[in-house]
Amino acid sequence: MDRPTENLTAQDPAWVDDVLLAGPATDICLRLPEAVDRGTLRQLVGDAQTRLAAAGLRPGGAAALRLPPSLAYVVNLLATWRSGAQAILLDHRLTDHEVDRALQRLTPQVVVAPVRTGGGALRIFVDVTEGVTAHSAQPAVSGHAVIQLSSGSTGPSKVIGRTAADLVAEVHRYTRIDGVALPGERIILLPSMVHVLGLVGGLLYGLHANVELVPPERLGGDAILAAIRAQDTPATVLGVPFHIGLLASTRADGPLPQLKRMTTGGELVPAATAQAFADRFGVPLGNMYGMTEVGVIGTDLYGRHRPSIMPAPGIEVREVGGELRVSCPASPYVGLSDPSRWADGWLHTRDAGTVDPATGLVTVKGRLDSQVSVGGLKVDLTEVEATLTGLPGVAAAVVVYDDGITAYVQPDGPLSEEVLEKLLAERLAGYKRPRTLHLVDQLPRTTTGKLVRAVPVLRAAAP
Amino acid sequence: MSGRPDLGRADLVSMLAELTAKPVDQVPHRVGSMELAWLVHLVEQRYDRRMDLTDDQLAGIRTVDDALAVFRTSLTSPADG
């Protein structure tokens, strides 16, 4: 049913119907928990296209979506693409200041934002009534179908673009991975659909493969169990490691035959957590490795190779000088030419890792840029940071290399530098200790709660 | 509160210790969105009832003490209200 997709551009909207919205009108796409079938979704998308066009969206333009995960988000995203336009995804937790800066750089023709939200606390999917406002008359800054702002906790903020062809290729990649949810099954969707795992691994793959998407009624262990139990069909829970604990801490109250697998991305799962999950549920706990720039890179959906993963079909991973590099035909960065991030068809992940030449298995070993050399001795800043974070009186800490090892520490009550230094001296060799210690009231964090590691931001936090 | 002992600060701290794998005396007093979801989940499980919290209530919680105040208010309101 798919047409050749290698030359797709954002201005050729046929891919939305061909790859995402094809299929019988009565198929259920989403359960919120009320069922939304494909026919209804197509109707809603058509209506939204009319509203977007009335507000000024034209083929070749861009729409900024500042929406929480919601039916409105899904509908406006598909409507933007079906209008031949680019979707700029703005996490709804971004501040006005951050959004204003993004809008200045990315010149959308329209901005879609909530005029009313409802549904109560801890909702995974929100009831949204959206409004569309005109913003500029300029075309999109690139031919990408989707623009995402870097949510990484390292390096400068990046604008990442992906073409329609690249998104379609990733959807097809999922269909070739053993262990993903199958047609007629369900994905219990926990990650945000604004970010790559929930967006492509959840929403786009689900629409393409006729897998029902089921966000639990809210973020809680019992709500996840209720979502799994709500239908008889097999269910795959998609989440991040935090969700494993949430699910594993529920009371065992009967069998859960629908649960087929849980798959998490984002970070490595400690072996003890994986074992606790296996003991409780007796189904595989899968692991995925991916990046906003390229989507899913590799998987271990049966938990057989932990902590390693096997590259996804069509993805090449190689190790160069201890860094993992991933095949990526074009630079995903908008307005940035940095050969240390992308060059000659390879994305430099800045993740340290190895590729086993015999099996092809990839092992990710943390950020490459956390290791520094002090007087010829290698120091992993992660170790320094973990030591600091584990000290009594420390709520959080970030350790960077800024002309020497520099620590920014957020105390959790009264704490003096003298006490901190004394405690550190008991735990770390002298060459590993921070040369500069800054005590700050609040460490800077991204909208998703990750600690910010960019030196200028940290310096500003500790004037 | 359903005949169970009142929710105390130490209860929340020990719940957070479970999440962060830290000793209770090293659990941060500040809580983020994930810690809050975790606390709501465990408190509801303990009292076997749902706390119908609003976004505004949750947004106002910055510390363990804030959470305790909001949870206690919710738990002492009529269960069917």
Residue A99 sits in a domain of what CATH number? 3.40.50.980
Could A121 and B58 be called an inter-chain contact, meaning their C-beta atoms sit closer than 8 Å?
yes
Q: Give the Cα separation of A342 and A234 in Å (integer).
A: 40
User: How far does A269 lie from chain B, in Å, by closest CA?
Assistant: 14
Q: Which one of B19, B25, B35, B41 makes the best mutation probe of the A interface by having the most chain A beta carbons within 10 Å?
A: B41
Q: Which of B19, B28, B40 sits opposite A122 (nearest CB)?
A: B40
* Residues A296, A231 within the same domain: yes
**Does residue A330 fall inside a structural domain?**
yes
* Residues A316, A201 within the same domain: yes
* Residues A249, A266 within the same domain: yes
* Residues A344, A451 within the same domain: no
**Does residue A7 fall inside a structural domain?**
no
CB A281 within 8 A of CB A243: no
Domain B9-76 has CATH 1.10.1200: yes
User: pTM here?
Assistant: 0.82
- A286 Cβ contact partners less than 8 Å away, ≥ 6 residues apart: A179, A261, A262, A263, A264, A299, A300, A301, A302, A303
User: What ipTM describes this predicted complex?
Assistant: 0.88
**Does residue A8 fall inside a structural domain?**
no
pLDDT (average), residues A342-350: 93
**Does residue A6 fall inside a structural domain?**
no
* Residues A62, A87 within the same domain: yes
Helix (H) or strand (E) holding B65: helix B64-76
Chain A / chain B CB contacts < 8 angstroms: 54
Number of domains in chain A: 3
Mean pLDDT of chain A: 89
pLDDT (average), residues A193-208: 95
Range from A160-169, A243-252, B62-71 that averages highest in pLDDT: A160-169
CB A384 within 8 A of CB A428: yes
Query: Chain A 390-429, CB below 8 Å of chain B: which residues?
Result: 390, 392, 395-396, 412-413
Q: What is the DSSP letter of A280?
A: H
**Does residue A194 fall inside a structural domain?**
yes
Contact of B17 with chain A, judged by CB distance below 8 Å, is answered with no
* Residues A328, A444 within the same domain: no
pLDDT tens-digit map of A258-293 = 999 999 987 678 777 888 898 899 999 999 999 889
* Residues A416, A452 within the same domain: yes
Query: Residue A154 — pLDDT band, cuts 50, 70, 90?
Result: very low
Above 90 in pLDDT, residue B39?
yes
* Residues A150, A180 within the same domain: no
* Residues A229, A300 within the same domain: yes
Q: Give the Å distances, CA to CA, from A268 to A130, A299, A365.
A: 36, 12, 9
- The mean-pLDDT minimum among A9-18, A147-156, A271-280, A433-442 falls in A147-156
* Residues A104, A233 within the same domain: no
Residue ranges making up the domain that contains A237: 167-369
Q: What is the pLDDT of residue A428?
A: 77
Contact of B32 with chain A, judged by CB distance below 8 Å, is answered with yes
Q: Which residue has the higher pLDDT, A430 or A73?
A: A73
Contact of B28 with chain A, judged by CB distance below 8 Å, is answered with yes
- The mean-pLDDT minimum among A62-71, A137-146, A434-443 falls in A434-443
